[in-house]
Amino acid sequence: MMQLTLARARTSICLGQELGRGGEGAVFAIDGQNDRVAKIYSVQPDAGKIQKLTAMTEAASPLLLRIAAWPVDLLTDNRGLVRGFVMPRVIARRDIHELYSPKSRSEAFPETDFRFLVHVGANIARAFAVVHAQGHVLGDVNHGNLLVGPDGTVLLIDCDSFQIGNGAQVFTCDVGVPLFTAPELHGRALRGLIRTANHDRFGLAVLLFHLLYMGRHPFAGRFSGQSDMPIEKAVAEYRFAYGPDRIANGMERPPGTVALETMGRTISDLFVRTFERSGSHGGRPGAEKWIDALEKLESSLRVCSTANWHHYPGELRDCPWCEIETQTGIRLFGQRITVDRATGRIDLATLWRAIAAVPSPGADPALPSERTWRPPQGVVLPSSILKNMRKAISIGLACTGLVACNALSKDGGVLWAVASYGLAVAVWPRISAENRAVAEGGYSAAKAEWESVLSRWKREASLDVFKEKFDSLDKARDELADMPNKRQRGIAKLESERETRQRQRYLDRFRIDRAEIHGIGGGRTSMLASYGIETAADIKKAKIMQIPGFGETLTSELVEWREKHERNFRFNSNEPVDRHEIDVMDQELESQRQNLQSTLRQGSDSLRRLSQEIGAARARLMPLLEKTWTGLKVAEANRNAL
């Protein structure tokens, strides 16, 4: 193999086997050195590139070498020409984008949960903080220059493309990926452009958003305007699809995604400050802010009571991952399953006897509204006798006037009729609008107070509360007893779906981001991923047609690509149900079983405590019911007396 010389160490090395190849050159092992590799350029670097690499080797520090595959020495050939450089060797790491979505994560990081994602996010921010503290800028931020280890540590690669600060001299980064490039740089030539840490912070936030929000790009969404809105254009126009001003910007996040607020107020505020227009003036949160926020998020995560492999932000009441899994049918975490069967069984019959033996609080006592009501001693109701007498007199006078009208031909008949009607009107009881309003208001207030106390009684003191709890325990008993049958039904379902699932696994091997499909570049691939379409198995014409920017032509290209692979699929009838799928089902059933057992173990104590609480509530609320019912009857009497 080729023999090269280390420029600073003045020692020779021999290249070993080729480890990888990219657009600029290839990476080789170094004979006798397990911790370093050599990057050799296909074309000899020019003087400017050599100056930059020299500055990088001089700037190498323990901190940088801990988080980056940083050049530590140049390599020259036998003519003294620089051919490449030596850097730390990267072992057992995966591309960061393999951690984003459930499908890629199930292969690359099968045992991870959301805690791991948050931990990795904090480490990404730490790597950015180190680079910025040393006076450098990544420039070309994208998920192709970040690798993740099984322990969650991250390593920056392709560092020779970074913008390097060397005193007054700056070696620029002349490339960039539009999906991660700050909006204010869109449309500008990157060659020779001096970038700032504030530009990097935009790319950092895009990386973290992908990580926390299950592989979605923050600017991929549905546009309400007339034209197409590819991600690159949305970025350039500050159209954050998850932000509080998304409606004003004509955007809405894709279906099956979590809201921005899911990660808590601190995290969501950091994203908003990064992606809003004012952030371009230098106000984007620095890496240190993200480190602090992500550490706090990690420490606040709680375990889902339904699926113990779900960890979610402590600010939330309910688990968001359960909701997404229900909506999409996709398992988000914990793809490699280890079922814990050493949890012990319970004696269900004995447990149920203990539950059934708990005495109920007894039938509900009759409420005041169900009994004959009499005013308590000292309570005097207003009398309506006078009002009724005046009404009777008025009616009598009116009748007299009617009789007089029949005698108009007689002398004095008209005068008598007029006088009778006049007296009838004068005698009829009159109530001022103000007094009537006071009476009606008092009655409404008394009725509302009664209904409020009655509602409390039903929630706290009714026998129905006890019955509802007992019925829920009875249901839990039935579900627990049915667990073996439920597993058999699950196995039968998996058996009946063997061919469909084999086809799904086969098509999942063909990823869109690794394929060459006409018209489908990086931006459209990211848009597809933001709508949950990553492999050939995900491609369905109806789903593609609903994605902004994908019409008949692009949809046909994707469908044809899927069909090409599908034609090569052959069902293997001898292949049994995938053991992994059985283990996934078993873990879910085991989690349900443990929850049901826990509920039943606590059942008798819960019922006994509830019975006591109902008794105490009855003693506490019955006098209040009596009082408010009396108040309502008095208010009703006051209203009727007017």
Residue 84 sits in the same domain as residue 118? no
pLDDT in tens, 390-411: 556 666 656 766 666 665 545 5
* Residue 147: exposure state from Cβ atoms within 10 A (0-12, 13-18, ≥19): buried
Residues whose CB falls within 8 Å of the CB of residue 13, separated by 6 or more in sequence, listed in order: 3, 4, 5, 6, 30, 31, 32, 33, 38, 75, 86
**Percent of the chain at pLDDT above 70?**
89
Q: Residues for the chain: how many in total? A: 642
Residues whose CB falls within 8 Å of the CB of residue 406, separated by 6 or more in sequence, listed in order: none
Q: How does strand 73-76 pair with strand 82-88?
A: antiparallel
Residue 85 sits in the same domain as residue 204? no
Select from 315, 270, 318 the least CA-distant residue to 294: 270
For residues 246 and 253, give the distance between their C-alpha atoms in angstroms, rounded to a whole number: 8
Residue 128 sits in the same domain as residue 38? no
**Between residues 379 and 355, the one the model is more confident about:** 355
Report whether pLDDT(315) > 60.
yes
Structure tokens at 512: 């869109």
Structure tokens at 179: 């999906």
CATH code assigned at 537: 1.10.150
Residue 459: inside a domain: no
Select from 252, 281, 267 the least CA-distant residue to 182: 281
The mean pLDDT value of the chain amounts to 89
Helix (H), strand (E) at residue 632: helix 603-641
CA-to-CA separations, 91 to 37, 88, 126, 569, in angstroms, rounded: 11, 10, 20, 34
Q: What is the DSSP letter of 137?
A: B
Residue 388: inside a domain: no
DSSP 3-state of 411: coil
pLDDT in tens, 50-85: 999 999 999 999 999 999 999 999 999 989 999 999
Residue 233: inside a domain: yes
Select from 329, 306, 340, 366 the least CA-distant residue to 595: 306
Report whether pLDDT(337) > 50.
no
Residue finishing a domain among 328, 354, 384: 328
Residue 73 sits in the same domain as residue 120? no
Q: What's the whole-model pTM score?
A: 0.74
Structural domain count of the chain = 3
Average pLDDT over residues 104-133: 94
Residue 83 sits in the same domain as residue 129? no
Residue 604: inside a domain: no
Residue 176 sits in the same domain as residue 66? no
Structure tokens at 253: 């996040």
The residue range of the domain holding 239 is: 114-328
Residue 126 sits in the same domain as residue 176? yes
Residue type, 586: D
Helix (H), strand (E) at residue 125: helix 114-133
Residue 478: inside a domain: no
Residue 222 sits in the same domain as residue 144? yes
Structure tokens at 465: 């509360």
For residues 81 and 78, give the distance between their C-alpha atoms in angstroms, rounded to a whole number: 8
Residue 118: inside a domain: yes
Average pLDDT over residues 601-622: 93
> What are φ and ψ of residue 345, in 5° steps?
-105, 165
pLDDT in tens, 470-520: 999 999 999 999 999 999 999 999 999 999 999 999 999 999 999 999 999
User: Would you give the end-to-end CA distance of the chain in angstroms?
Assistant: 112
CATH code assigned at 270: 1.10.510.10
Residue 86 sits in the same domain as residue 205? no
Residue 342: inside a domain: no
Structure tokens at 308: 């113990």
pLDDT in tens, 402-440: 666 665 545 555 666 666 656 655 655 556 677 778 878
Residue 10 sits in the same domain as residue 139? no
Residue 240: inside a domain: yes
Q: What are the residue numbers of the active site?
A: 140
pLDDT in tens, 165-191: 988 899 999 999 999 999 999 999 999
> What are φ and ψ of residue 92, in 5° steps?
55, 55
Q: Which residue has the tokens 């020409």?
A: 81
Structure tokens at 424: 């009838």
Residue 170 sits in the same domain as residue 268? yes
For residues 595 and 600, give the distance between their C-alpha atoms in angstroms, rounded to a whole number: 9
